[in-house]
Structure 1
Amino acid sequence: MGRHQQPEIRDRILDACVDHALAHGLPDRLQPFVKASGCSTRMLIYHFGTRDALLRETLRRARQRQREFYGDLLSPRSGEPYLSTLRRTWQAMTGPEGRPYLSMFGKLREDAEQQLWPNLRREATTDWLQPLEDGMRIIGRPELATLVLAVIRGLIMDIEATGDTPRANRAFDDFLDALALMTTAGTADTAND
């Protein structure tokens, strides 16, 4: 009779693999995950079936962490103007805590075949629309969520391509200044109607 899988062991192994992948990227072979998890290749296969299945689970768990992290950052805060929330979110996303997610999923987005996660490009775009709409609704402009997301994604791609974070930070600050003018003008136009 075979052994029964133990979910807590599987979760511990998966978390170790996610930690490793966020720090070093997805490995081409299992050995880095073996070392990171402290278990054998045989145990990885026992718990996950195949290398690709483990990589997919690692990506899903990393994405779950990213959604929780970014979702919390994007959530409106009592007493904080939403444009300040966006500025703080940008700094966290592109800073040391958020950078591993950008690196991992940026490389995955570049993969033309996207075999490990076929719908990633679409999900990576649509995941953040609702939280941004909720935040922008506070300042009366939920329809600008797509613009905000496009600027964030574009500047992230710029950072990935050039490594020039200070320039991207200045551009994001300029965007927020323009957005403040847009939202103020929208409020003034509504008041004049």
Structure 2
Amino acid sequence: MGRRPQPQIKERLLDACADHALAHGLPDRLEPLATATGTSARMLIYHFGTRDALLRAVLGRARQRQLDTFGDLLRARPDEPYTATLNRAWISITGPDGQPYLRMFGQLRESAEQQLWPNFRRTATTDWLGPLEDGLRSIGRPDLATLVLAVIRGLLMDLDATGDTTRTDRAFRDFRAFLDFLEAVEHPSSGHRSTAGRSQEHVSGDRTSTDTASGT
């Protein structure tokens, strides 16, 4: 009689594999994952069926973590202008918290490993439209979601190619100022984005942050 599935063990192994892949990249062999999880390649195959099935599961788990983390960062908050929310999300996405995801999914886009997730490029784009539309609705412009996403993705590609944090941060600040201008034009009587609120913003090195009640 064969062993019964043990979903709790499978979940624990999957989390450990995702941790390893985010820290070191998606391996092309099972051995690094077996070592990271303290088990054997044979046991990984037992739980996941095939190498490719395990790697797809690892990618899916990492992607869900990214969506959960950065989807929450993109959520509109009543105590701050949405452009400040976008700024905080940009800093996190391009900082230490976001870099492992950018490396992993950048590798997926550029290599033969994309066969593990054939529609990834489309999914990686459309996944973010909903959260951005919801957030931009707070300033009355959900229709700008595609534009905002295109700018962010373009700047991330620039940052990946050049490593120039100073220049890409400056470009994002300029784009944020453009969104502030649009909001001021469309809602001139709104106190949501006041001059006093803008005066609280400051630049620490080359990273812009905003003093808000939620803390940044």
Tell me, yes or no, whether TM beats 0.5.
yes
Aligned partner letter, 2:4 = H
1:112: how far off? 6.1
* 2:20 counterpart residue number: 20
* 2:138 counterpart residue number: 138
* 1:69 counterpart residue number: 69
- CA–CA distance in 2 between the matches of 1:117 and 1:18? 16
Aligned partner letter, 2:66 = Q
Is residue 106 of structure 2 the alignment partner of residue 106 of structure 1? Answer: yes
Q: Write the deviation string for residues 25-77 of structure 1: whole angstroms up to 9, x where unpaired.
A: 10011111011110001101101111111000000000111110011100111
Distance of aligned partners of 1:87 and 1:60 in 2 relative to their CA distance in 1, 3 Å threshold:
same
- CA–CA distance in 1 between the matches of 2:68 and 2:113? 27
Aligned partner letter, 1:134 = D
Distance of aligned partners of 1:143 and 1:100 in 2 relative to their CA distance in 1, 3 Å threshold:
same
* 1:175 counterpart residue number: 175
Question: In structure 2, the residue corresponding to 1:78 is in which secondary structure?
Answer: coil
* 1:120 counterpart residue number: 120
Question: In structure 1, the residue corresponding to 2:59 is in which secondary structure?
Answer: helix
Aligned partner letter, 1:48 = F
Is residue 93 of structure 2 the alignment partner of residue 93 of structure 1? Answer: yes
1:83: how far off? 0.4
- CA–CA distance in 1 between the matches of 2:180 and 2:107? 33
When structure 1 is superposed on structure 2, of 103-112 and 1-10 the one drifting more is 103-112
* 1:35 counterpart residue number: 35
Question: In structure 2, the residue corresponding to 1:115 is in which secondary structure?
Answer: helix
Gaps of 5+ in 2: 189-216
Aligned partner letter, 2:161 = A
Aligned partner letter, 2:110 = E
- CA–CA distance in 1 between the matches of 2:112 and 2:12? 31
1:113: how far off? 7.1
- More helix as a share of residues: 1
TM-score calculated relative to the size of structure 1: 0.94
Question: In structure 2, the residue corresponding to 1:77 is in which secondary structure?
Answer: coil
- Identity score, percent: 67
* 1:4 counterpart residue number: 4
Instruction: Let me know the Cα RMSD of the aligned residues.
Output: 1.2
Aligned partner letter, 1:159 = L
1:109: how far off? 1.5
- CA–CA distance in 2 between the matches of 1:142 and 1:183? 12
Detail structure 1 runs of 4+ shifted over 3 Å in the superposition: none
- CA–CA distance in 2 between the matches of 1:159 and 1:59? 23
1:111: how far off? 2.9
1:114: how far off? 2.0
TM-score calculated relative to the size of structure 2: 0.84
1:186: how far off? 3.0
